[in-house]
Amino acid sequence: MLRKVPFYIILMLCHLSVVAQINTDRVMMIGRNALYFEDYVLSIQYFNQVINAKPYLHQPYFFRGLAKLNLEDYTGAEQDCSEAINMNPFVVDYYQLRGLARIHQGKFTDAISDYAQALVHAPENVGLWHNMVLCKMREKDFDGARTDVQRLLDISPHYVPGYLMSAEVWMKQQDTLKAEADINHALNLDKYNADTWSMRAMLYLQMERYKDAESDLGQAIHLASMNVSNYINRALARYHQNNLRGAMSDYDMAVDIEPNNPIARYNRGLLRAQVGDDNRAIEDFDRVIDTEPTNMMAIFNRAQLRYQTGDYQGAINDYTTVLEEYPDFLTGYQQRAAARRALGDKHGAEMDESILLKAEIDRRNALADNSNNKGNEEKDDEKKTRKKSDKNVKNYRKLVVADNDELQQKYKNEYRGRIQNRNVKVELEPMYVLSYYKKDGEVERPINFHKIVDELNNAQVLAKRLYVTNQELPLNQTQVEEHFASIDRYSTFIVENPRRADIQFARALDFYLVQDLASAVDDLTQTLLKDDKFVPAYFNRALIRCKQLEYKRAEEAAEAMERESKPDSKSKLPITPMSHVHEYEMVHADLNKVIQLAPDFEYAYYNRAVLFCQQNDYHAAIVDFGKAIELNPTFAEAYYNRGLTYIFLGQAKDGLADLSKAGELGLFKAYNIIKRYTETEE
């Protein structure tokens, strides 16, 4: 599955200034704000406004292209980047983004051209060299890839992905010793990189060192417990060691994580059939066929199982489907004949048997040209597995393994996405906000509740039900239009009811959801002027000001990096980031007011604790997380964040206890952190 392009590309690579009229500047700023907070559909609407007003500006085309790339509109992203390049051919980021868009469309030669052009202007850009290597590997230019990856490692000798790519090039050229040496070097640099363990395991599978592969995949799972491929590959290593129970357990885990994974389902179905668990094997093949309706080997396996369980008509239907696709697959006629006889269809069975008899006569007389037969009725090889791309139906009994190109593509996407999120990133859970939308988690979690929110919902002033959430959901096109229209409606209501704080708050919610944070803060301030005890307004204003501060600090960091990257000597002077003391004080003041007015509102203590952590005041944060837990003993995020805070302070024992409680309450990623820190302590 495609991973998102990281937002730090916006700030680290593209700190661009827009020289335009104030209205255009404001719309551009809101659009970039929406983009930063992953509201792609909304950001495109804002960039469209800028382009319509001033089509000669190149930056909005680039940012719109970035939003389209995240929405997997690769053609549109390429077109927007081309527009930006036509207007200004000297910006490295435009070539880099167009290269990514072209990679997703399989245009590797064109992407290489983009990266080569970008490297003229930024010869030490690690990301450009990285993608250049990947493109050359896809074009099977292994010599060129090896040359480029060496340049990359000369620039950045501690860049772990570079050694993994180098190893992959050696694997493509069948030099397993050099590949293993590169992977071992990568492990010496960073033993906590799950991808490195996974890759060495794949090398060991290729070398038939199944015990070593199983061990490495165990390490990879230890570091990245939600990676389905690792379970599937470890099951394969265990299967080759005749550990069927262990293989079945791994397929169970893979299916739990990704219920419709066709490889895990297919292989588990085969193993279930081997141990006589026919009905549950049929269920697995049903799911495979739902996902891949033309998977003839799954259909044939289901036919066999249906026959064994007495569903003769179902078996006949499946055999017929396979034989329509593989009319020379003799085993299919043999099995269908048996099913037809069992159903009492003597005539149908005799027709199938006559086909078998004719094929036998032809074989004996050497009349049949089996080399052109779709069924390939040659003697089967002794391998236990087949590639997913293998469509030879006679291999229906073999376990499926992913194709090499498929593995490489996934590996490539891992590094084009959020690099820091390959494993669970060790960072605090985010603050809470009052919003109409929330993401559904991987497991069912308690609904966040407080009487203040309940009262506001019961007042029926708001357009939708309000939730307390820290997992916000980006808007789709319909929702964007709804909230723009809602802003207009509430604007009319505010004119008609100038003293109504709740209506002003409702419009503030709409402004927040369309990422116009400045207008949202203005409306919340007006809300509080009308009613200085309106707790939700203080709570949301604190959160929104934090977001504004986050974006501002990220821009400053990007600006500092951009200056440091310039060749002139002045840019090398140290840059001191702004402290933003006043902004932090305003956020604290709002949260303090919430706690004063609603001392049982646990989410205010939680948010204030996160704020203390951002200011490195960990002792104060622990106190506030503790108060939130006291008010709500099932507050998983508070346990999780307090656990990390203890670890930041060097109090690992207390931290691991809190993380364990967070995992128990359903925040399962805590277990990944526990494993990593437990290993570090040992």
Any alpha helices (H) in 397-450, and if so which ranges?
A: 404-416
SS3 468: strand
- The number of helices, as runs of H, and strands, as runs of E, in the chain is 33, 4
The pTM of the full predicted model, rounded to 2 decimals, is 0.69
pLDDT at res. 572: 45
| pLDDT at position 446 | 66
- Confidence (pLDDT) at 421: 32
Residue 27 lies in a domain: yes
Nearest to 324 by CA among 313, 314, 336: 336
* Cα radius of gyration (the chain): 30
244-259 tens-digit pLDDT: 999 999 999 999 989 9
Element (H, E) at 423: none
State residue 402's pLDDT score: 79
Assign residue 49 the CATH number of its domain. 1.25.40.10
pLDDT the model gives residue 386: 79
**Residue that terminates a domain, selected from 68, 101, 123:** 123
Q: Does residue 383 fall inside a structural domain?
A: no
Q: What are phi and psi of 469, to 5 degrees?
A: -145, 150
Residues 134/165, Cβ–Cβ less than 8 Å: yes
User: Please, are residues 54 and 20 in contact by the beta-carbon 8 Å criterion?
Assistant: yes
In a domain, 600, yes or no: yes
Structural domains counted in the chain: 2
Q: Decide if 291 contacts 262 (C-beta within 8 A).
A: yes
**What was the pLDDT predicted at 36?**
87
482: amino acid identity, one letter: E
Residues (pLDDT < 50) of the chain are 1-22, 367-368, 370-380, 406-424, 442-443, 567-577, 682
Query: Is 601 contained in some domain?
Result: yes
CA distance 466 to 616: 32
Q: Is 443 within a domain? A: no
Mention every residue, 6+ apart, whose C-beta is less than 8 A from residue 439.
469, 471, 472, 473
Tokens (6 digits) for 93: 């980021």
Strands (DSSP E) found in 470-532: none
Strands 433-435 and 399-401, by their bridges, are: unpaired
**Which residues contact residue 341 at a Cβ distance below 8 angstroms, ignoring those fewer than 6 apart?**
349
Quick check: is 634 in a domain? Answer: yes
Domain end point (choices 76, 97, 123): 123
- Note whether 609 and 621 are within 8 A (CB): yes
CB contact at 8 A, 607 and 433: no
Per-residue pLDDT reduced to its tens digit, 496-527: 999 999 999 999 999 999 999 999 999 999 99
The confidence score (pLDDT) of residue 442 equals 47
- Phi and psi at residue 241, in whole multiples of 5°? -100, 15
In the DSSP assignment, the letter for residue 10 is I
Q: Is residue 34 part of a domain?
A: yes
pLDDT on residue 445: 58
Alpha-carbon distance 549 to 563, whole Å? 21
| Cβ contact 296:322 at 8 Å | yes
Domain that holds residue 534: 453-563+579-681
The last residue of a domain, from among 60, 95, 123 = 123
The single-letter DSSP state of residue 379 is P
Indicate whether 23 belongs to any domain.
yes
- Nearest CA to 234 among 272, 177, 194? 194
Residue 679: its pLDDT value, please? Answer: 54
Non-local (6+) Cβ contacts of 135 within 8 A are 99, 103, 108, 109, 111, 112, 115
* Alpha carbons 339 and 353: distance in angstroms, whole number: 12
**CA distance linking residue 511 with residue 491, whole number of Å:** 11
Q: How far is CA 441 from CA 244, 418, 668, in A?
A: 32, 20, 11
